[in-house]
Amino acid sequence: MTATHFDIVGSFLRPERLKRARANRQAGNISAQDLMDVENQEIADLVQKEVQVGLKIVTDGEFRRSYWHLDTFWGFDGIKHTHQEHGYQFHGVETRNDSAQVEGKIKFNPNHPDLQAFRYLQSVVKNYPGITARQSIPSPAQLYAELVRGPENIAAVQKYYPNHQDLVHDIGTAYRDLILALYEAGCRDVKLDDCTWGMLADHDFWKLMTDQAEDIEQLQQEYVAFNNAALVDLPADLRTSTHVCRGNYASTWAAQGGYQPVAKTLFNEENVENYYLEFDDQRAGDFQPLAEVPATKNVVLGLVTSKRPELEKPETLKERVKEASQYVNLDRLGLSTQCGFASTEEGNHLTEAQQWDKIKLVIETANQIWPATKED
């Protein structure tokens, strides 16, 4: 595990000042620099709050993003911002309809917004000794899933990438170049956010997304190939992880089902060291799939929901960690919220105070389960 057994997934509710600034920028009332100035101040304030609450790994809250994934995709050369007829289908809700589409050969752009964002975050974190800045990025498999979402996107892929292996190579290379650029900027903790595995575990949702019941085993191998192509020969001191999500939009969800259908491939074949897994309600299934996790890997249990304000009972969390330890040794487990608080700028339905109460619950409970992590 990391130095502590408590953690976060990454995104935070957008402060009202930031929401107003983004709306004013979109309306043309302020400049791009004006918006950046607000973002910078709000991120600096957020990091201070993260440190004060006791977190050792911090993020910028994804305050510069509209989406947890699409903003990253749009930052690569060869990918453009498009719109589809419909948004993503969540439980009782349809999202905005933005998408990403191939418009040329995919490459890393040295001016990628995630790299620029991390450089600022790192400049802030340098003021806090012992604190690590994390950069979360959507997985390569997630990019692939977006690029084949709907007939127009598929046609664009076929136009520029008639050979599938060329697509795997270029996406993997673009991502690896981004990761290495982040490393050069001081990043030592990269997390790949990934809904593809959670969707695969829900056959009905995947059929809805693709308009067909594709071979699940084949798709798993494709996803591993895309992700692992980005994880080749990375620096030894770079911590890599993945968060496997079932959808997180305005407190709603997209998919359901346990990890069993994908556990063997996901845990054994993807070349990451740490898994952030959602176990906050019955939709997530039981802990049995964790039996597939190799002894060299760690699991952060997302037992505290970021979707609802009600606080879980510490004793219940302790019992669930104990149950999970039947499959993964306690020293290789950690505790976190099941997802971020604002995977998109809309955010989940709770207040900022309730958000911090959730994080305090995670830290306090973890310090009781793993006393050695408690700071003096």
Block means of pLDDT (10 residues each) for the chain, 376 residues, are 81 97 96 98 98 98 92 97 70 69 98 98 97 97 93 96 97 98 98 88 57 70 96 98 77 64 96 95 85 98 94 98 98 96 84 97 98 56
Q: Which residues contact 335 (CB under 8 A, 6 or more apart)?
A: 5, 6, 7, 300, 301, 303, 304, 317, 321, 362, 365, 366, 369
C-alpha to C-alpha distance for 359 and 196, rounded to whole angstroms: 26
| pLDDT at residue number 203 | 61
Is residue 27 classed as helix, strand or coil in its secondary structure?
Answer: coil
**Residue 253 confidence (pLDDT):** 44
* 40 close to 371: Cβ distance less than 8 angstroms: no
- The pLDDT score that the predictor gives to residue 173 is 98
Angle at which helices 260-269 and 216-229 cross, to 10°: 30
Residue spans of beta strands (DSSP E) within the chain? 57-58, 77-83, 89-90, 93-94, 98-107, 132-133, 135-138, 189-194, 239-244, 274-278, 298-304, 333-337
Check residue 207 and give its pLDDT: 57
Handedness of CA 153, 157, 159, 164 (dihedral sign): negative
What pLDDT, on the 0 to 100 scale, is given for residue 344?
A: 79
* Confidence at residue 211, expressed as pLDDT on a 0 to 100 scale: 47
Q: Global pTM?
A: 0.92
Fill in the DSSP letter of residue 154.
H
CB-CB contact of 93 with 113 (8 Å): no
The pair of structure tokens assigned to 67 is: 């989406």
> b or e along 200-229 (b: 16 or more beta carbons within 10 Å of the residue's beta carbon)?
bbbeebbeebbeeeeeeeebbebbbbbbbb
